[in-house]
Amino acid sequence: MRKIVLVAAMLSLSISLFAIYERMVQPPLPIKNISPQEVAERITGSPSPIVYLTEEESYLWYAVKEKRTDHADQRIEEFMESHGWMFTEKMGSGLIFSRDSQEVILTTQKWTKNYTLVKVPKESSAEEETS
């Protein structure tokens, strides 16, 4: 009986520690000028499904609150189309949009199981439309 209680206690402790670790520790980011904790705070603090994160070098970074990649892509398409960009095609992790004679490629990257990061080239003048 003592062994069962000991095993159950160890199992409970292991599960609790894993849950705390998952909640407290965020995976590394491809963005240097913002911390994972700050990104998590911005995402959870915003009611919007797409959240502006930061500008770094010649890119704007956004996060999409979606577990499934296809749903995240759909949110990005809707957002860009609401700003005058038409979805052209998907190539790997890139979403290609066009407007007039311009073309912009947004790249996506799954950050956690709940969020997708979006990298938007600034020089495409997309920042005027997506900011």
Distance (Å, whole) CA 125 – CA 80:
13
User: Whole-model pTM?
Assistant: 0.74
pLDDT digits (tens, 9 = 90+) for 56-108: 989 999 999 999 999 999 999 999 999 899 999 999 999 999 999 899 999 99
**SS3 of 41, please?**
helix
Domain boundaries, the chain: 30-130
pLDDT digits (tens, 9 = 90+) for 10-68: 888 777 766 565 555 678 889 999 998 899 899 999 999 999 999 998 999 999 999 99
**SS3 of 91, please?**
strand
CATH number of the domain located at residue range(s) 30-130 in this protein = 3.30.310
